[in-house]
Every structure is written in structure tokens, then in C-alpha cells.
Structure 1
């Protein structure tokens, strides 16, 4: 019976031959007798669990991989135990009882409830699912749940179907036909106006293109680095085509910054021999221009191009552009906090996330930072930041800061007048000399 409930006893009784032949087998582990009594009762169909013995029963049940006692102990904690919420929470966290944790957090209605539930422990030391529960519940208590519940849409009342009297059927038909004619005319007018708007927009676009071409002829746009055919032929040994634009590059330089280009230029023999290599990936030409500038020492990043640059930098495993893009987001970008957060979450920029959460001082700040997304979909370090910051904003930080103890003031030194001090010193010297002389041999003093 014991062997069916625990592999520990299966090995002890039937595989450890020396022990199995003993009349009495002492359990080597430190097992309280009372807890073992309850363990035996649980696997035999009984259940006298109480709050005094529950932790020891859980300990030996887990130690012996006994599922039945573990489940019964969890059920007791869920339904019958009178332990305070924090005690239950510590047990649930230790034994990873998800059902118990969910039940405990479901009962958290206020910040005070949360404070009573959580032990004085660093938030990052909790299990990831626990951190998610803390963050999710505090967002709900603060009135900024994630995801934001969709507002219920009231069903439209069914349209009333008028029933005309028999004598007015002809008049009703005429009125209906007039309404249809009026509606058809209105639709035709709207379509005509829409066509006019499209025509005018096309005309304006054509005019702007003409103006732009004139401007470009007069004042050609200048880039930080020129990768066009105008550069010296000694400064490039390869040509890349992106969205129809040609970029003249040094293959070795690109290869040093990205294994993608190393493989493209030096391992993919067919492509490496082409005069012009077309990048097959969907890469915006403007983003590629910025990418080349970043690996060449330039930096003209802006909020319009940052996401595309990040995308291709990650796609090509190029560390230098990624780091420069992250630094730009940290120091120069004017994107809204939520936009930065989405990027930081997508590319796992921990430094950027830490900086964003450091600026969260209120619930409104947190609401402005987080997108409408389920908390469990965030990265584990993100949920930890959410939980930790909300605990601080709510006035119940974890861990609780230790109150600083003011140092004791130094003992006051009372100055002594110089003459009195010298006199006291002389008296002390004379007293000690007299003490010494009493212990000396008188004959020795006489001989000297």
C-alpha cells in the first residue's frame, strides 16, 4: 500500500534488499511521528489534518513524491484551514500550489489586503506566476486593469415595422418610392464628390512631385554618408539594391558587423559573384541608409525610422546598430512612454524598461506606460517591474525598507583644568610606587 503511493517506499521495501529483510526499518530522514501518522491516514482514506501539522505533512509528502497526501493537504488549505493569508501564501509559493495562490489573490480587494498577504521579500524572488498575479491584481485595484475590459454593447432594439392601414397602402408605396429616389440621388451626389476629391488629391500630388523634382535639382539632399555611385570606386567593392536604390558598400566592413552579410558575400558563392545583389528581405531603403551610417560611425536616427532600423538590425544580428538605437531611445527620442515600452518589450531592452519604470510616479503614469495587453503576456522581468513599482506607489514596498537608526551621539568629554590634572597624576604615581615597594624584598633595596 505504501509502495503504491510513493516510489520512496517502493524502493525501500522491494529494491533495497538489506532493509526489506529487517523486522523494523527506521526511517533515516527526520520525520515527526505525528506527521507520519497523518500521512498514513491520508493514504488510507482518512483525514484529520489541522493547522498545527499541515506543514510537516506537506514536507514529507513532497519528499516522498506522494501525490494523494499533497492533493488532500492543498484541498485542506483551500477549504478548511484557519491560517492567516500570508501563512497560506508562503506555503502556496513553496509548494507551487497555483490553485491556492489564485484563490488568495481573488480575495485581495484593497491595498491593505495585498499588504497583509505578501511577506517581506524581494519581488524578484517570487515565482513568475506569482509576480504576474501581484501585478494584475494591483492594476485592477488601482483602476487600470490590463487588458482593459471591453465595454458591453447593448443590443439594438429591433426596428419597428410599420403596418399601414389597408386604405393607405397606395399612399405608402408612393412615399416609399419617393424615399428610395431621394436616397439614390444622395448616394450619387456623395459618389461624385468623392471622385472630385480623389481627382484633386491626385492633381496636388502630381504638382508636389513636380515641385519636389525642381527642388532636388536645385538643392540636392545631403546624407550624412554617401553610398551612391558618386563615391570613389576605391571605397566600395560591392553593390546592394534595396527598393530599387543602389548602395555602394565595402563587403568586408558589412561582414564584420553582421554574419548575415558575411554569409551573403563570402559563403553564398552564387550571390557573391553578382555585380548587384538585391536584398530579398523586405527592407526600407531609408532604414538601410541609416543602418549603413550607424556601422560607419554616423548617427542620424530619428523617431520616424527607429523601428525599421531596429527591425533590420535584429534580423541581421548587428550589435552596433542595436546598441546605438537603444541609446537613442534612452537619451534623445521623443516617442511617448508607451511607444518606447512596446519597443523595449519587443527587443528586450532591460535598461530602457528600467528607465521607463523609474519615471513612473503615479497610477496615471503607469496607465500611460502600459499598452492594452494581458499582464501574463509580458516578459517576466517586466511583470516584476510592474509589481514592484505598484507596490511602491501603493505605499507597501517589498522588501520593506529598514528604518535607519540614528547613531548615538559621542560621549561628552568634560575638560579638566591643567593644574588639577597634573596633581591627580602625581598622586596616582605615588600610590602605585607605594604598592610596588610593599612587594619588594627590603634586603634587595638595602643592597642597592
Structure 2
């Protein structure tokens, strides 16, 4: 079912691997021509544009753009008790992990009378996007909201697409399970807006009757290629977490791995989207063949078989054969997967040698699905090879480091000549004069 790339005996340099490894075709730049007029329309016409775009893309006009408080309450009241309990476990574990990420202010004494303090300050307001589409993602509410709350962001808003299938009190609003997750987390500012127009609404703000949605400083959360394109287009006006692409799993496995476990995990991510990437990297031909057989069997039996099959047979998925685990590590570090499983002998030691991955899942009992929901880690992670330079969503994503410089006159006098010298070297004499004016003043 899955294609095979045989890298045994080949020179695994960066250029070779970039050309050889499977990747999804995901052209954010091409989506920009669609997104730009939508963003401009939201900027110019505000709520009216958002209502019309909801009808156009989601097939429904929400009763109001902001979800009323009573609808959020009704969603939480109607939530299946088992789902509520599972969400609460996810929230509790995410809070436990993310609480340890909060940085503390530090002050460095550079010289007598001279200090530099680094303060960590949360952004003022964030817009968190929760996608609709082929699945329902209350877990994404948890993964976006928890770190923002622990960063002590003062104002948090959530947007998610209206659902035409909803009935009763939920008609025209986002999925009730998403609304319930917001209510469970204490988020009361929720908008029935999806896609690129949601990013535009957060960036520009809008007024809908007596409801005012203020512009945000930062937008986070996954979405489709149009959401990614809107983030790219609006970056600068707003901060963004990343241009998230289709989900990815890579599994680095040797002959000790259970092929059925590996197959189940590859299929679990293929279930998201026909563009999802599932890649096995192994030095064991026997394991590769056993996984292929298990994948074929499981894919045919799973609920979303058509979607899974499309993902697994796409150019973005496949089996990569390597000479040994050292070569396998070179490959997975070059691939820089969103999710990387290490299922090998001495998996803990092997995992320490991984430099590029959004998240690493170690050993046979740490599947990616655990991280999707209840490990305590965050599942909003870099895709498309961006894990070689970017991190997943965390408390730090919502904080800014601000340097606070405090020098006495004596401290300035001690270092001032060096400032003047460097200003002269850069032909910026007024910089130096800003120092000498103070040192020569009669105070």
C-alpha cells in the first residue's frame, strides 16, 4: 500500500534527503490569491462580510457571530459525562506540564550600578482558532487555551466554524463539543467564524450590533491551507504561532518493534486528512514488510478507510529503508517530523540523539494518540520540516521577553567611552553624544 524509498548504501547528505523523503504538496503561497480578497473584505465590511463568508464556505449563517453565554452553558450541560471526564483529565495534565514552562524574571548585575532585567510579559489579547472540517477538535481547545491561561494572557477569544448540521439551540454555531470545552475552561468569548476569515476577524476586529470583537495581538491554532495563508498574509499586523500544514507521523523502528503497533500508529495520523503524512523509517526489511501487511489489513477495516487509504498512498507517506539506526537518525533528523515515535531497542538512548522533531514519543507504549489527548504535552506542533527551527505551542508562545536596563551615572561613566568608540566606528556620532551629554552635564 505505501511506497518504499530505499536509501541503503546511499550518501545521506542534506540535499539527497530533501529530494528523496516523502512530503505533502502544500502550497500556502498559491492559496494567498484566494485569501487576500477575503481578508480585505473582512477589514472593510466587518461583520457583514463574516456572515456572508460563513454562508459561502460553511453553508450556514450563524444567528450571531458571538456565541451567547446560554448556548455555551447548554453545550456543557449536554456534554456526555465520559467525554467531560476525559476532557478534564486532558486539561489537568496539560496544566500540570505547562505550569512548569512559565519563565521567571531574571536580573543580571553587569557592573556596579548597572543591571539588565529580563521581564516575561504576556501578550494582551489572543485569538485561538479551532478548526472544523473532517473531524471535531475539542482537544485543540485544550491545547490552545491552557498555555494561554497559564501565561496569564488577559483576554482570550476562540473562533471555530459554524456547523450546518447543528440543530436546536446549537443551530448555526460551532460544534457543541467544542463549545462545551470552551465552557469547561472558562472561555466565554467564542465566535462562530471559520477559515481565513476567522484570522482576519481576529486581526482587524469587528462590530456586530452591540458586540465588539477587539483586534488581537497573536493568533494561534491549526487549520487548513487557507488558514495558513491568512496567517502568512497578516503576519506583522498580528503575531502567529506557525503556518500549520497537514499532520505528520514518522516512526523510527527496528526489528524489535511490533508491526501491528507501528501500523496502528501510521493509520492513526492518516485518519486526519487525505494529505496527512505517515512515514516509517527502519533498518529491518522484515519489519517493513510486516508493517505493510498490517497497514493494508487495518486500513481496510477502519472507519475512515477511504481517507486513510488516500493519505497512505499519497506521495507524502511511505516506508524508508536505511542501513542501520545511525542512518535512521540522520533521516529522521532531516525529516523533522511533527510527531516522531522511536520504537527500538534502548529507545530512550536512541531518542536522546533526535535533534529535530515537534514531539518525540519513546517506546512501544507512547503512541502519538496519547500526546493528541492526554499525555500533558501540547499537540499544536510544527509541520512540514519546520521542527528543525521551530517549537510547538507552549506557555512561552504567549510571552514576550522585555529587557529593562537600569544604569547609574557612575556605571554609565565607566562604560561610556566604549559606547562613544563604537558609535564612531559605525559613523553614528549622535549616538555617542547622547552619552557624553550626560557625562559632561553639571548635575
TM-score bucket of the superposed structures, by smaller chain: under 0.3
Q: Which structure: greater helix fraction? A: 1
Q: Which structure is higher in RCO with an 8 Å CA cutoff and minimum separation 6? A: 2
Q: Which structure: larger Rg? A: 1
TM-score by length of 2: 0.22
